[in-house]
Amino acid sequence: MEAVGNMVTRAGAQKVWLAGHSLGSSMAMLAGKNMAKTGVLLQTFLFNPPFVSVPIGKIKDDKLKHGIRLTKSFITAGLTVAMKDHSQSQRSAASEEDPFVILSAWVPRLFVNPADHICSDQAIAFPNHRFCGGIRKRTRAEYRVMASKREIFTISGPLHLTTVDWANAHHRRSVAASLVQGVKVLERDRQQNRKGPASLAPPWWEFFHFQLLHQLMDDVDFSIFGAIYEFRPLPFNYHHSIQLAPRYVIAFRGTIIKPDSFLRDLKLDLQVIKNGLHESSRYEIGMQAVRKMVAAAGAWNVWLAGHSLGSSMAMLAGKNMAKTGVFLQAFLFNPPFLSAPIEKIKDEKLKHGIRKANSYITARLAFARKGHSQKSASEDPFAILSAWVPCLFVNPADHICSEYVGYFEHRKKMEEIGASGIGKLATQNSIVGLLLGKKESEPLHLLPSASLTINLSPSADFKQAHGIHQWWIPDLHLQCNLYQYK
């Protein structure tokens, strides 16, 4: 403290910084506080500062966590009133005696990691006081939670793609997946208030010479759910395959399990399950952006890309454009397929038997509900969509999308045993949709044609199997099949 005081006296407060880690951050914090009480405000960097508290931050349930903190605040405030003079507790916020008011102009920078129980509660303490009002106040601070490694391009991105060969399927897949990840990190930047040099999203598109043209924002929770990128290659960095590159890519992120966007994302996930995504305002915003870009640039210059919930958005947009005769290149990563997890069954005979029985039941229900009349090719939605061949990327260990593996393969097997009519009718309908009485049921996840890529590389867990990062890893064990509806 003496050293700090001497240095401030010699050089002035504006030329002195404080910094510390763990115990050292407590030293720097105390010195900064004491100087602030005298009106001297020092720039301060506190790394992993200890926060003495029960590790409430480790609780996964946010409602329970907030309830415990709220209760704790009321108890603390009650004990304070009981132990101290009541008139003291009612001091005006502008009172010169209130130490928190005196310190409020000092804004130290706190750097914490949620996995570090010594400091993790700092990250929750500040947002928590929004709910507690005047019960308990805390000095203002800029606190920064360490970003996930998966958000940092230089750690997790496809750095090996220094030159993109647009004729190479792995390169196209990697770029499309990276642009989708860029949307997710863009939203995480917004949530964490990371701006300017602190933003982590730009490298996810700038590395491949794309520029962010427009952000797509949800009108309910104002989260960023999509982005429109424009390809602007450097003149001296042209690859001979550049004519195959898109001019624009419209990308949609998947669900983010964070408080700022999770409730809205979850509601839309449920809409996908109920086959009602087309009724959401988020989809309308995305669909409008697709139509405008296609009208301005032409279908051959526009790509669609999405992951999980975002792939449902891209798939629905692509389907609706295809119905008008506009076929967009689409990259759909881990697209949801709503079905019992039949693909998890190891016995091939049993699995095929269940699928066969399911096809007969679905076809029978469809026949009973929709009648005997056959639609012409111009009326058959599957025939209309058959020329659109989106690229699907699925992982058998991901139960959200794994059923696409059996969906297309089973249709092929039904053709081989002479039951193609039943197979086609079954693949155009879902039992759930038929039982719910939707006469013209056209489930989002059912497709007539697709280029299906299956990642057969082992996954450590579901998170890895469903994650977007797997799709730019080099040397994957992939199985690729083209399924064309006829």
The DSSP call for residue 200 is -
Number of Cα atoms under 13 Å in the Cβ half of residue 166: 14
pTM of this structure: 0.67
pLDDT of res. 234: 83
Q: Any idea which residue has 């405000």 for tokens?
A: 41
113 neighbors 119 (Cβ within 8 angstroms): yes
Alpha-carbon distance 442 to 445, whole Å? Answer: 9
And the tokens for 25? 């951050």
The architecture (CATH level 2) of 155-483 comes to 3-Layer(aba) Sandwich (3.40)
pLDDT of res. 127: 42
What's the mean pLDDT in 3-28? Answer: 91
pLDDT in tens, 59-117: 767 667 666 766 666 666 666 656 655 444 444 444 455 666 678 778 899 998 878 87
Alpha-carbon distance 171 to 165, whole Å? Answer: 6
And the tokens for 23? 């115990």
Average pLDDT for the chain: 82
pLDDT in tens, 21-36: 999 999 999 999 998 8
- Collect all residues with Cβ–Cβ distance below 8 Å to 161 and sequence separation of at least 6: 171, 174, 175, 207, 208, 472
pLDDT of res. 446: 79
And the tokens for 423? 């197979």
The closest alpha carbon to 309, from 257, 255, 390, belongs to 255
Q: Any idea which residue has 């750095």 for tokens?
A: 159
The domain limits of the chain are 2-145, 155-483
pLDDT in tens, 318-333: 999 999 999 999 999 9
Alpha-carbon distance 37 to 5, whole Å? Answer: 13
And the tokens for 27? 């030293």
pLDDT in tens, 193-246: 998 888 999 999 999 999 999 999 999 999 999 999 999 998 776 677 889 999
The closest alpha carbon to 385, from 439, 437, 330, 337, belongs to 330
pLDDT of res. 443: 76
pLDDT of res. 142: 46
Higher pLDDT pick, 363 / 167: 167
List beta partners, residue 330: 304
pLDDT of res. 330: 98
pLDDT in tens, 390-422: 999 999 999 999 989 888 887 776 666 666 566
Instruction: Tell me the pLDDT band of 139, cut-offs 50, 70 and 90.
Output: very low
Alpha-carbon distance 283 to 374, whole Å? Answer: 32
pLDDT of res. 70: 67
pLDDT of res. 88: 47
Helix/strand/coil percent split, the chain, to 5: 50, 15, 40
- Collect all residues with Cβ–Cβ distance below 8 Å to 436 and sequence separation of at least 6: none
